[in-house]
Structure 1
Amino acid sequence: MTTLDPARLAEGLLEQTGGFARAVAGADAGAQVPTCPEWRLADLVRHLGQAHRWAAEQVRKGEPVPVPDPRTAVPVPPGEWAAWLRAGADELTEAIAQTGPDTEVWTILGRGPAVAWLRRMLNETSIHHYDAAVTTGAGFEIADDLAADAVTEAFELISAPGVYAINPALAELRGQGETLALRPDGMEGWLATRTPGGVRWARGDHEADVVMSGPVREIMLVLSRRVPPSAGTVRLHGDAALLDHLLARMAF
């Protein structure tokens, strides 16, 4: 369940969509995205704009709809990127408002509140904002509360009941009590424990087999496999191999 209210999620979605649009403004549409090497910048733009509209359609229908492929979509001229991206974000926030954030709809984890799509798309947008910024050399900013909720959602996703049916590879996160602690600067942290039944997690500051500390933004980027933990943006103590194992298998 989201730690942020629908108004803040909607505000955050517009913040991150706007940052993404500024990062790609005037850039080469054919530039390869280093963090998504199978995509060009135009693919990334189309993916994000399509994702917002796809989520909005699912909120309105309450049922799953086919996932769009950005590589087969009608190209959007670069000069129209900003307006097109904003229109997609607006469409999603309006769909949530009209349907009601607590209305039950289909989500990637089964039936759940419509606001789950707002949260999922905010976090998707935040990570792709970083992808765009790395591609074009633009700056990347995200508020601490948004980055922290992205970390929480990541743990919720990999520990959800029935998640192995969606992503069988996550079963490799099961273990015998190995622990990872995340300690963001100036904020409450997280503890993840590998159990025979899967990952279990809780908020709080704890000792663990491996501890990662630093700015919450950087912790979010490491967990999303955008920045390696060895890049110097976070501080590690303990079993680095355990962290590597977790990161290699956390993709959702």
Structure 2
Amino acid sequence: MEITEFVETLRLDGALLANAAEEAGPDARIPACPEWQMRDLVTHIGRVHRWATEIVIEGVEQPRRFPDAPELTDEELVPWFRDGHHRLVVALHTAPQDLTAWAFLPAPSPLAFWARRQAHEASVHRVDAQQAAGASLTPLPSAFAADGIDELLTGFHARNKSRVRTDQPRTLRLRATDTPGADWTVYLSDAPPRTVRTAGPAAGTDLPEPGATADCTMEGPAEDVYLALWNRLPWDGVKISGDDTLVELWRERSGI
């Protein structure tokens, strides 16, 4: 996906998040994060937006701590969020293509990283807000959802922080049925997961042996797989074949 597409998704989902927050009210519980109310969600994502904006605008090359939570009334919180969201969209839209800045996941460039990461951050939390409001979820483009699966598997869960581990080697296959080339094999062990893109132009060189079968296969529409992997939807829309204990392992240990 292009940087402009990520920025546009960020713009749309941020606005939808704010609308859902206003509709639900500050006391609404967030289903995926039961300890959070809507005010906590809006405060969190608003701080993330300001943090990312500073890094992009200033070209920060070292990790920077999150800004402190604001001391705002409930009535002031959503307007504060909208302002920070707008500033982030503008910052990414106007940033130079050769931006030099810190990034914490692999990416073609720092600008590509921040556009992608903030788009997916907004989309997942927009789902949180709409679920809290009892609203229908706004559909995600399949290509974007597939990209989010890729970011989660090859980015977040390639890090030492990942707790998705097994005592004995296991393999997990994931496939988005509505997106060409959206196919991954995840090798699980007592080390951080290792993910190989197993189809399409981005396929790796260390592919599974021909005819090899995974211990568990998960396949379905990209959006259903994406949101299930982020523990925002149940696995009902995803076909599970093989050892379904790996689904429970993911559910229990994949939190970021």
After TM superposition, the score normalised by the length of structure 2 is: 0.81
Residue 91, structure 1, aligned to residue 87, structure 2: yes
Output the amino acid matched with 1:223.
L
In structure 2, the residue matched to 1:216 is 222
Corresponding letter in the other structure for 1:136: A
Contact 2:178–2:220 (CA<8 Å) still a contact in 1? Answer: no
Q: Distance in 2 between matches of 1:124 and 1:92?
A: 13
Q: 1:43 to 1:195 in 2, by over 3 A?
A: closer
Q: 1:14 aligns with which of 11, 16, 20?
A: 11
State the Cα distance separating 1:243 from its structure 2 match: 2.8
- Give the C-alpha shift of residue 113 in structure 1: 1.1
In the TM superposition, residue 186 of structure 1 has moved relative to its aligned partner by: 2.1
Q: CA deviation at 1:88?
A: 2.1
Check conservation: 1:59, 1:99, Cα contact below 8 A. Answer: yes
Partner of 1:251: 255
Give the Cα–Cα distance (whole angstroms) in 2 for the partners of residues 43 and 7 of structure 1: 29
Q: 1:80 to 1:244 in 2, by over 3 A?
A: closer
Q: Which residue of 2 aligns with 1:238?
A: 242
CA contact (8 A) 1:49 1:85 kept: yes
**Contact 2:105/2:156, CA 8 A, preserved across alignment:** no
For the residue of structure 2 that corresponds to 1:53, the secondary structure is: helix
1:3-82 alignment to 2 at 5 Å? 4-61=1-58, 62=60, 63-68=62-67, 72-75=69-72, 77-78=74-75, 81=78
The 1-side partners of 2:4 and 2:130 are apart by 26
2:174 is aligned with what amino acid? L
Corresponding residue for 1:192? 185
Confirm whether residue 157 of structure 1 aligns to residue 155 of structure 2. Answer: yes
Report the equivalent of 2:96.
100
With structure 1 as the length reference, what TM-score do the two structures score?
A: 0.82
User: Per residue, is there more helix in 1 or in 2?
Assistant: 1
Q: Secondary structure at the match of 1:30?
A: coil
Does structure 2 retain, via aligned residues, the 8 Å contact 1:180–1:211?
yes
CA contact (8 A) 1:211 1:236 kept: yes
**Does the residue aligned with 1:191 lie in a helix, a strand or coil?**
strand
Contact 1:150 1:220 survives alignment (8 Å)? yes
Aligned residue number for residue 169 of structure 1: 163
Gaps of 5+ in 1: none
Checking the alignment, whether the CA contact within 8 Å between 2:30 and 2:129 is kept in structure 1 is yes
3-state DSSP of counterpart to 1:23 = helix
Q: In structure 1, what is the equivalent of residue 206 of structure 2? A: none
AA aligned to 1:99 is: A
Task: Note if contact 1:35-1:131 (Cα within 8 Å) is conserved in structure 2.
Answer: yes
Question: How much does 1:154 deviate?
Answer: 0.4
Q: How far did 1:224 drift? A: 0.5
Q: Does 1:183 align with 2:183?
A: no
Paired position in structure 2 for 1:120: 117
Give the RMSD, CA atoms, in angstroms: 2.7
**How far 1:168 sits from its partner (Å)?**
6.0
Q: Deviations over 1:26-85 (max 9, x none)?
A: 32211221211121111111211221111011122313221245xx4222544762x543
After superposition, the Cα gap between the structure-2 partners of 1:40 and 1:80, relative to the gap in structure 1 and judged at 3 Å, is closer
> Gaps (5+ residues) in structure 2?
201-211
